Structure 1
Amino acid sequence: MIWILMENKSYFQVIGSPEAPYINKLARQCGLAANYWAIAHPSLPNYIALTSGGAQGVTDDASPSRHRLDVPSIFSQVGVDWRSLNESMRTNCQQTNDALYAVRHNPAAYYTNIRHVCATRDVPLTAHPELDARFTFVTPNICHDMHSVCPGSRSELRTGDAFLSRIVPKLVDSPEYRSGRTAIFLTWDEGGSGPNHVVTEVIAPTVVPGTRSHVRFTHYSLLHTTEELLGVPYLGKAGTAPSMRDAFGL
């Protein structure tokens, strides 16, 4: 299972936009959850809800020193068999913001009960991502995730789309994906202005090209589906969220 988390763009800002040709190509060639919703604003509550089944009282984007979360998460559920790949992070499990690295986009850094594992499994994203873990969380930097405008670029969407056009083919060409046992979920933490309706795409060998589901899903559905496929118990609100498995043939 591989998750890629993008930032702060609503569904209708992305789908159909000429600034995001690769993402729209994926929507035609893979699966699109057309009625998928984030949980809250700002960013961090969504990352915590996605990985633990609830926002755990988090309502802001403060650092791990302000939110020491000793609760179960998808990371603790799989023991040491996970990896978080963070673009522009300088040191493993980095606890503070640093240039283009935003710790609020790195949920593993907030869970105190996995801190010893985080030191070796929460690592910088490299040109050749390691995908041998059961669960992999990919975090682009704040330029490539569409959060901010990169130097030399006028379009957050186009910059993020170009990043995805480089990294997704690497993931699809990996031995893990080609084995037929890997699913990739691409989603956005929250929408931009207006409703919290966000794009979520499902890339897997079993997905019928062009599949589009209009079932209402949320971030808790993504956690539910991941836990279901990994064979671990459901956490918090993921337990009652609808699974995405049947909709996309997973």
Structure 2
Amino acid sequence: MTPRRTTLVAALAVVAAVVGLTACDGRPAATASARPASAVARSTDAAPTPDVTKLLVFVVENHSLTQMRRGMPWVSRLADRYGYATRYRAITHPSLPNYLAIAGGSTFGVTDDDPPAVHPVHRPSIFGEAVAAGSTAAVYAEGMTTPCRTTDTGRYAVRHNPWTYFPDERRTCRRFDGSLDRLAPAVDAGTLPAVGLVVPDVCHDAHDCSLASANAWLKAQVGAVLRGPDFASGRLAVVITADEDDRHHGNRVLTVVAHQGLDHQVVSAPLNHYSLSRSLADVAGVAPLAHARSAASLLQAFGLTT
């Protein structure tokens, strides 16, 4: 064989080897020893996941895990991208005691949806405790016309705004429990609070409107948060949950946790609203309230530190 022919054969062999490692769509073909690029990155040069110092919670109304997965495609994709819990349950029915459980670590014996004038809770809330300890807290309530409003108006339902039920914290509530209009500036400036709750109106939380409407609203609102500097820093975790199910699925609701350190994580540990309340206390650096003291931490269940 001449030197020129030998060189040509060798070149063709190299080309064949490259083609053999490339799929027809231009991507590298799988090999027995190949690992996903993400796994390689995590094992070699990934930076440690920072502690979570901010937690922002969005609440949907009256739908189960299965209903939310089927009826909220963007939220479902978010759950698959970051993480979600499969055994997260609300505490009871109806709505209000579940919100109180998140805010105060207890239902305080409430079994209905009556307003704050009927159910004043003379105990601390996680919002008030955070502010008193020198941390930060805020509620962003869609449709609320005056800060810390204690009665319904339009599509604003006070039963979904739990801080209003703690009259001993009224002055602080009036400072930091305001309208949804304050959310976007805080997101853009990277000044979201340590303890944050977003309260959609009764259409956008899927109480009076469809899950599709809630899904579109969350895509816009949560999507903006995920593009903000707080989330990019890894200091912020975002939770989407439901106050309760429709009373036909054992009160099991979809609870999504989005954070830069999570990747397709599914948590099967039993969790509930007290677990969420405990995590809110953890990011604020205060003691968990009431039943949240003995609850498993939602963030810790996902491997996140505070």
If the length of structure 1 is used for normalisation, what is the TM-score? 0.93
1:1-250 equivalences under 5 Å are: 1-15=55-69, 17=70, 19-79=71-131, 81-126=136-181, 128-131=184-187, 132=191, 133-149=193-209, 156-194=210-248, 195-207=250-262, 209-250=263-304
Distance 1:104 1:130 in 2: 25
Distance 2:254 2:72 in 1: 12
Distance 2:173 2:298 in 1: 28
Which is further off, 169-178 or 66-75?
A: 169-178
Partner SS for 2:84? strand
- Structure 2 CA distance for partners of 1:57 and 1:129, relative to 1, 3 Å: farther
Q: Structure 1 residue 205: deviation in Å?
A: 1.1
Question: Which runs of structure 1 show a deviation greater than 4 angstroms over 4 or more consecutive aligned residues?
Answer: none
Distance 2:75 2:129 in 1: 31
Partner SS for 1:223? helix
Distance 1:130 1:141 in 2: 20
Q: Deviations over 1:174-204 (max 9, x none)?
A: 2222222111111100001312111100011
Structure (1 or 2) with the larger CA radius of gyration: 2
> Counterpart amino acid of 1:21?
P
Task: Output the aligned Cα RMSD.
Answer: 1.3
Gaps of 5+ in 2: 1-54
Partner SS for 1:92? coil
Q: Structure 1 residue 91: deviation in Å?
A: 1.1
Partner SS for 2:86? strand
Partner SS for 1:130? helix
Q: Which residue pairs with 1:152 in the alignment?
A: none
Contact 2:278-2:297 at 8 Å conserved across structures: yes
Partner SS for 1:197? coil
- Higher helix share goes to which structure? 2
If the length of structure 2 is used for normalisation, what is the TM-score? 0.76
Q: Structure 1 residue 226: deviation in Å?
A: 2.2
> Counterpart amino acid of 1:62?
D
Q: Structure 1 residue 232: deviation in Å?
A: 1.1
Distance 1:91 1:12 in 2: 36
Contact 2:194-2:283 at 8 Å conserved across structures: no
> Counterpart amino acid of 1:164?
L
Q: Structure 1 residue 129: deviation in Å?
A: 4.9
Work out the percentage of aligned pairs sharing the same amino acid. Answer: 36
Partner SS for 1:147? coil
Partner SS for 2:99? helix
Partner SS for 2:77? helix
Q: Structure 1 residue 79: deviation in Å?
A: 1.4
- State how many pairs are aligned: 241
Q: Deviations over 1:128-153 (max 9, x none)?
A: 2525221111000000001012xxxx
Distance 1:172 1:166 in 2: 10
